């Protein structure tokens, strides 16, 4: 078959930022996937680094797992800096 593989594409838009999922491309091999991703997703200087991964290799959370996986952290407000009130005199922390 002439079917090419579906790859998911992640682009780092600037140094210091995370790679972000931007979409997918079809390609026959990894190198072609990188190049196709470069031609498609960085035509306007959008990227400094690209990752590609075969879509089939991605394991994702299922929808019905949303509650057990993500809700428990909702009440852990102490994980966020804004939870802690400091007097103004302490200054920026």
Nearer CB in complex with other proteins: 25/50: 25
Stretch that binds other proteins, among 10-18, 23-31, 74-82, 83-91 (CB under 8 A): 23-31
Our finding on whether 77 is near other proteins (CB under 8 A) is: no
Our finding on whether 52 is near other proteins (CB under 8 A) is: no
| Residues 6+ away with beta carbon under 8 Å from 73 | 79
CA 32 – CA 39 distance, rounded (Å) = 10
Choose among 1, 4, 56, 8: nearest CA to 34.
Answer: 8
Our finding on whether 51 is near other proteins (CB under 8 A) is: no
Residues in contact with other proteins by CB under 8 A are 1-4, 6, 23-29, 31-32, 35-36, 39-40, 43-44, 60-63
């Amino acid at each position: 078959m002439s079917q090419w593989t579906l790859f998911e594409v992640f682009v780092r838009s600037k140094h210091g930022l995370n790679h972000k999922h931007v979409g997918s491309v079809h390609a026959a091999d990894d190198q072609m996937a990188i190049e196709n991703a470069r031609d498609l997703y960085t035509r306007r200087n959008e990227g400094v680094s690209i990752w590609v991964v075969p879509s089939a290799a991605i394991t994702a959370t299922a929808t019905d797992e949303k509650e057990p996986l993500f809700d428990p952290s909702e009440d852990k407000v102490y994980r966020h800096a804004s939870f802690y009130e400091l007097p103004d005199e302490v200054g920026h922390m």
